[in-house]
Amino acid sequence: MKQENKYFWLLFFLFGVTSVIAQALFAPLIAIHFYEPDFVLVIVLLLSKRFGSIKGSSAGFLLGLLQDAVTGLPLGISALPKAVAGYLGGKLHGQAIKSIGLDLWFVVFILIHEIIFYALFQFKSEFSFHYFFVNRVLPNTLYTTVILIITALFTDKYFSE
């Protein structure tokens, strides 16, 4: 196994599994009203930026399934949006984008993730998509972006090339 693959799996298990546990245990404690940050999505985006689209989407899918299993959500409802976000984030692999530009792209990817998640989630709900977009998607996108910026500051040495 190549050194790059070993490093990917080390970060996957070290940060990925820890983020799933933090999502299940810690996120409800720091929730503001109903809005929770998505720690797993943060790690998926950082992994995909570091390792590319294939590993990013794979990490998103696996961590999404694990998150669904741990949190009791319908199995697969988090896996698809995280795989898509991981794939999109991996497209930034190797790009020389300044920090602000990178953060703006990540905001777009988080927004896409939240739209896909709540589009799937609304089928089981009586609320409209407009309600979910205004009351869930936008606040969760903002909260997750703040957590992403904080996490990226502290873990830059692990996720930089």
pLDDT of residue 126: 81
Residue 109's pLDDT band (boundaries 50, 70, 90)? Answer: very high
State residue 121's pLDDT score.
Answer: 80
At 102 the pLDDT is 64
Higher pLDDT, 122 or 142: 142
- Map out the domains of the chain with their CATH numbers: 3-159 (1.10.1760)
Residue 98 has pLDDT above 70, yes or no: no
pLDDT digits (tens, 9 = 90+) for 5-56: 999 999 999 999 999 999 999 998 999 988 999 999 999 999 999 999 999 9
123: pLDDT strictly greater than 70: yes
Please state the three-class secondary structure of the chain as a single string. CCHHHHHHHHHHHHHHHHHHHHHHHCHHHCCECCECCCHHHHHHHHHHHHHCHHHHHHHHHHHHHHHHHHHCCCCCCCHHHHHHHHHHHHCCCCCCCCHHHHHHHHHHHHHHHHHHHHHHHHHHCCCCHHHHHHHHHHHHHHHHHHHHHHHHHHHHHHHCC
Confidence of residue 104 (pLDDT cuts 50, 70, 90): confident
